[in-house]
Structure 1
């Protein structure tokens, strides 16, 4: 159980009451939870998954120390028919599934992981080569972390973008967005749009509608917390 708040006396009281009812151990301040590493400084909190990435790279057995500067090449459009079918698709399934969990705190790989996850039913040698590129990118950026400052405004700032007919197999577009609360990145997503649109304007409007729904929910949540 994780107890949060800034009233140390009340936190101590809650933990004491819980110990009266349940067998539990106080592990102290949060440092490691579900492969997520948390470090606290006087300026704020850092969240990373360095140990998780190290374990993932060990299981992937890349065979060398090469790194790349970007997780995916520019303007790549993968198709189900690219390359030859993998003789052992389970390896691809396992690595992509591990990357999906890593997206929880690594928004910079959200786009390539979204693309690669579309081919888990029948991965090919080409898809696997792009998967290895993502792993090499992680190898070179293993120390990257998310930072949440202690002192920050409660103003929501949002950014969004959309492709148009970027998937060559079904001509559907992709929506992407990220939301900041002050200086903290709190939400992000890459999602294929549900319909085929006739122009980039339609795709962008659909993207803005998706982001508006997310921001509306966040405003309600902040209002429940008494922050708005």
Structure 2
């Protein structure tokens, strides 16, 4: 979905129209001697799009301007285009059998730590798994719940009553914010900028840290992540540096995707970090004992810093947008960062 969001952001800035086509049996038209998706794509590219030859070659239907796709609603306002899943959220309440109308201000309670041993194991975990899976898909347009969904996803194997309570809290937050939309401003620029943050030793069960990052194309949020790190970091600097390396990978990939769309970025992409020690490691080409356990990440990040793919400007913690993807926050802090994510409260168009 990151590619789709990137494409949409580029299309709207360039004032192109986004239309929707329903191809009924693309894979059955003609003999394909290679892997089906790739062969179909190559066959698709060979058709003359300017003369609408596709309708003669494939069984397809023109659905007009894009308004609804796979549960995602697309609407237009005076500020730009909006992506939301309002109808999807409404159906989610029904699947979860959430009958009350209570709401909360944040998707996670502040300072709460969850453990596999907390609470009573659910007799039938199927509903928990269904709802969490649906919440994962909802994060396509709701970055504000990304960290909360990351937390409850860790207990998918053996959920307990405490874990289910955390899921219900996310749903009650959604109950109070059903019209929260992801905004793609039509006046945005086409320059990348990223924010990288880590919460060291955040999981008291395995002592692993949490990685959080977000990437903007101009004012449009196109990529984000909240994920537990694969290994235990021995310091906050190490945790932050691992996150910088992961974010650098995302930037390299996005720059490649944008180039493929005809958007060339000649300047280094700013990767905002609030850990000065991690920034110094990236800029230092001498690798000593302090760095040897993260040597590959060091070489990779330093290479792209020297190459001019990224720059590492310092950002104070108060303005670190990626903070929302690493931990549960107070109401005031959470709302402040939500405003920075290019999200807009508006009534979306539902099918």
Q: TM-score, normalised by structure 1?
A: 0.92
**8 Å contact kept, 2:201–2:233:** yes
Residue of structure 2 in register with 1:139 after alignment: 175
Deviates more, 1:201-210 or 1:215-224: 215-224
Residue of structure 1 in register with 2:225 after alignment: 189
Displacement after TM superposition at 1:151 (Å): 2.0
1:212 aligns with 2:248: yes
Matches within 5 A, 1:102-117: 102-117=138-153
Residue of structure 2 in register with 1:32 after alignment: 68
Distance in 1, Cα, partners of 2:91 & 2:199: 34
How many residue pairs get aligned? The number is 224
User: What per-residue deviation string (whole Å, max 9, x for no partner) do you get for residues 87-116 of structure 1?
Assistant: 121110111011011011111111111111
**8 Å contact kept, 2:189–2:217:** yes
**Cα distance change on mapping 1:20 and 1:120 into 2, 3 Å:** same
Q: TM-score, normalised by structure 2?
A: 0.61
Matches within 5 A, 1:59-138: 59-138=95-174
Distance in 2, Cα, partners of 1:15 & 1:184: 33
Distance in 2, Cα, partners of 1:141 & 1:34: 21
**Cα distance change on mapping 1:7 and 1:160 into 2, 3 Å:** closer
Distance in 1, Cα, partners of 2:231 & 2:163: 25
Residue of structure 1 in register with 2:194 after alignment: 158
Identify the match of residue 57 of structure 1 among 93, 117, 134: 93
Distance in 1, Cα, partners of 2:178 & 2:208: 33
**8 Å contact kept, 2:83–2:141:** yes
Displacement after TM superposition at 1:189 (Å): 0.4
Distance in 2, Cα, partners of 1:221 & 1:181: 12
Distance in 1, Cα, partners of 2:174 & 2:218: 27
Matched residue SS, 1:215? helix
Q: Which has the larger radius of gyration?
A: 2
Structure 1 runs not aligned, ≥5 long? none
**8 Å contact kept, 2:17–2:65:** no
Residue of structure 1 in register with 2:59 after alignment: 23
**Cα distance change on mapping 1:58 and 1:15 into 2, 3 Å:** farther
**8 Å contact kept, 2:197–2:212:** yes
Matched residue SS, 2:118? coil
Matched residue SS, 1:145? strand
Distance in 1, Cα, partners of 2:51 & 2:221: 30
Higher relative contact order (CA 8 A, sep 6+): 2
Displacement after TM superposition at 1:40 (Å): 2.5
Displacement after TM superposition at 1:42 (Å): 5.0
Identify the match of residue 202 of structure 1 among 227, 238, 244: 238
Matched residue SS, 2:247? helix
Deviates more, 1:38-47 or 1:101-110: 38-47
